[in-house]
Structure 1
Amino acid sequence: MNEEITFILDSTKESMDGSIDHLLKSFAKIRAGKASPIMLSSVMVDYYGSSTPLAQVANINIPDARTITVQPWEKNMLQEIEKAIQIANLGFNPMNNGDFVIISVPPLTEERRRDLAKQAKAEAEDAKIGIRTARQEANKDIRNLDDASEDVKKNAEADVQELTNKYTKKIEDILVVKEAEIMKV
C-alpha cells in the first residue's frame, strides 16, 4: 500500500519536472537581447527538396552578443539559408558575405521587451497549469486507492500539495530571473 503512494508521488514529481523542463525550453526561445543559436531553431531550410532544420545543414556561431554567424557545410546552400531565415520572419535581416550568413541582432525596444515579458508570463502560467494538472491526477489516484485508510490518503494528499507548492515557487523564481533578463537594457 505504501508502495502505491510512493509510486504516485514519484510519478507526480516526474510530471512536474517535465513542466519545469518545458518551461526552460520555452524560455530559451524567448529572445532577451543577446544573440543565441536557439533563436534560429525554428528555421527550416530547403535542402535538396526536403525541409531540414538549419542546424543540420550549417554551423551556427555567436562571435559576440549581437551577432550570429551561420556557416553552411556546402557553399551552394548560402542563398537557401538566407532565404529560409527571411521566410521564418524572426525580425532578422541576414547578410551573405560569400562564406557566412551574418545576422546582426537588433537591440530590443521597450515595447518589445514588455511583449516578451508578457510572453514569458504566459509560458510560466502554462507550466503552472501543468503542475496543477499533475496534482489533480495524483489526488484522484490517491482517492481511488482501495486498501488505504483515510488518514494515509489525507497525508498523501498533503504531500502532493507540498510538491505542488514547491514547484509553483520554482516556476515563479525562474520567471523573475527571465523577466529581469528581458527588461535589462
Structure 2
Amino acid sequence: MSDDTEIDLDDITRRMDGAMTALRHEFASLRTGRASAGMVEPIMVDAYGAPTPINQVGTINVPEPRMITVNVWDKGLVGKVEKAIRESGLGINPQLNGTIIMLPIPELNEERRRELTKVAAQYAEQARVAIRNVRRDGMDQIKKAKGEGMSEDDQKFWHDEVQTMTDKHISDVDKALEEKQAEIMQV
C-alpha cells in the first residue's frame, strides 16, 4: 500500500462518532419519567433581546428523581424562563419559588411511553442514515483512488475497513436504541 492512495479513516471514524454523539444528545432530551438536566437544555429563553440557552440564564439541578430546578440568576428573567418552559412542549408545568423554578416530572402513561419509543426509533434511524452517508463518502474515496491507480487488493482492504467501521457504528446505534427503549418502558 502506498501512502498517496490511503483513505482517511480518521475522518470517517470522527464523522461516524459524531452521528453517535448526536444520537446520544437526542436521546438525553427524551423524557423517560426520570428527571434529567438534558430534558431542558434545548430550551431557548428570550433573554436580553436574543434567544439564549436556558443553561446560560440559570443553574439547572436535579435534586430528586422526579424534579428539576432552574435557579434563574436574573430576577427579571424568571417570567421569560417560565414562559419558555411552558411553550417548550415538554408537558411540564413549572412552579415558581422566588428565582427558583421547580419542574415536577409527572409519571408517563403507557400510551406516551409507546410514543416515546417510536420517537427514539426515529432518532436511531436518522443516526443510521448519517452513518451510511459517511460510509458512502468513504466508498467514493476508494473509487476515486481506484481511478488514481489503487490496486484491487488495496481497494478490497479499504472497502473491508470502511464496512467494518460502518457495521460497528450501526451496531452501537441499535444497542443504544434498545437501552433507551427499555429505559422509557420501565415503570
TM-score bracket for this pair, using the shorter chain length: over 0.9
| CA distances 1:25-45 after superposition (whole Å, capped 9, x unpaired) | 111111111111121123222
Structure 2 residue runs of 5 or longer lacking an equivalent are none
Q: Which residue of 1 aligns with 2:156?
A: 154
2:85 — aligned with what? 85
* Superimposed CA distance per residue, residues 57-76 of structure 1 (whole angstroms, 9 cap, x where no aligned partner): 11111110111111111223
CA distance in 1, matches of 2:59, 2:69: 8
CA contact (8 A) 1:114 1:183 kept: yes
Shift of 1:4: 4.8
Q: Could you state the TM-score of these two structures normalised by the residue count of structure 1?
A: 0.92
- What's the % identity of the aligned pairs? 40
SS of the aligned residue for 1:61 comes to strand
Bigger shift: residues 116-125 or 81-90: 81-90
Judging changes above 3 Å, is the alpha-carbon distance between structure 1 residues 51 and 167 closer, same or farther for their aligned structure 2 residues?
A: closer
Summarize deviations over 1:86-141 as a string: whole Å, max 9, x none. 12232111111224111111111111111111111111111111111111111111
Query: How far apart, in 1, do the equivalents of 2:5 and 2:168 lie?
Result: 19
Q: Report the counterpart of residue 123 of structure 2 in structure 1.
A: 123
Match runs of 1:68-79 below 5 Å:
68-79=68-79
User: What are the residue-to-residue correspondences of 1:14-163 with 2, within 5 Å?
Assistant: 14-145=14-145, 146-163=148-165
The count of corresponding residues between Structure 1 and Structure 2 is 185
C-alpha RMSD over aligned residues: 1.6
Instruction: Give the gaps of 5 or more residues in structure 1.
Output: none
Change over 3 Å in CA distance of 1:157–1:105 after alignment to 2: same
Cα distance, 1:163–1:49 mapped onto 2, change above 3 Å: closer
Q: Distance between the aligned counterparts of 1:2 and 1:16, measured in 2?
A: 25
Shift of 1:80: 2.2
Alignment TM-score, normalising by the size of structure 2: 0.91
> Does the 8 Å contact 1:36/1:68 carry over to 2?
yes
